[in-house]
Structure 1
Amino acid sequence: MISPEQLQTIAGKIDGQVLNETVVSGLRGEYPGVHFTYCMDDDLPNNVPLFEGAGFNLYLVDGREHCLRITDNYENASGIVIAEVIGE
């Protein structure tokens, strides 16, 4: 489970940073029970982020079944996708 407060805290840690694997690796170390994935936001078409930040969006991942899927259910979430948004 990932709480809304935890997602907000993580968003605060990301805000203002240049997104890269170092940032994601730091979050993995700080939150060992949460699976983090980093990608570009346009890799997630037809999905609605639960948090929209400056230059990034956050999505929750449900890993309870065989395949991972994006979810809006905090109770079923086991991971977070950090999706970088590139301005046009």
Structure 2
Amino acid sequence: MIEAIQIEQIAAIVRRAGLNAPMLAALREQFSPLHFSTCLDDELGADEPFLTDEHFNLYLVDGRAHCLTLTGDLACATGVLLAEVSAHA
């Protein structure tokens, strides 16, 4: 489960630091045991982000079952996928 305030905090950190390895490591440390991943937003297809921003979209990940899935439900979320939005999109 992820709290709405945590999403706000995560988004603020990403806005300030950008999508990079040190930021991802800091998120993993600060918000343990949540899982964090990154990708390019255009790799995700038709899924709607939970939160949109100018430089990234934030998706919730449900890892409770054998396979990871995207979810829109904070109560089911076990992680966050941060997807970089291309300036050329």
**Greater displacement, 70-79 / 10-19:** 10-19
Q: How many angstroms does 1:58 deviate by?
A: 0.3
Taking structure 2 as the reference length, the TM-score comes to 0.92
Residue 72 of structure 1: aligned partner: 72
Contact 1:21–1:38 (8 Å) recurs in 2: no
Give deviations 1:9-39, integer Å, cap 9, x for gaps: 1101111433111111110011111100011
Aligned residue in 1 for 2:85: 85
- For each residue in 1:43-77, what CA deviation from the matched residue of structure 2 results, as whole angstroms up to 9, or x when unmatched? 11111001111200000000111100000010010
Aligned to 1:12: 12
Hey, what does 1:45 align to over in structure 2?
45
* Rounded Cα–Cα distance in structure 2 between residues aligned with 1:39 and 1:22: 15
User: TM-score if structure 1 supplies the norm length?
Assistant: 0.93
Q: Distance in 2 between matches of 1:14 and 1:68?
A: 23
Q: What SS does structure 1 have at the residue aligned with 2:5? A: helix
Partner SS state of residue 39, structure 1: strand
State the match for 2:28 in structure 1: 28
**Aligned-residue offset at 1:5:** 1.6
Q: Hey, which bits of structure 1, 4+ residues long, moved more than 2 A?
A: none
SS in 2 for 1:29: helix
Which letter does structure 2 place at the counterpart of 1:43?
A: E
3-state SS of paired residue (1:57): strand
Identity %: 39
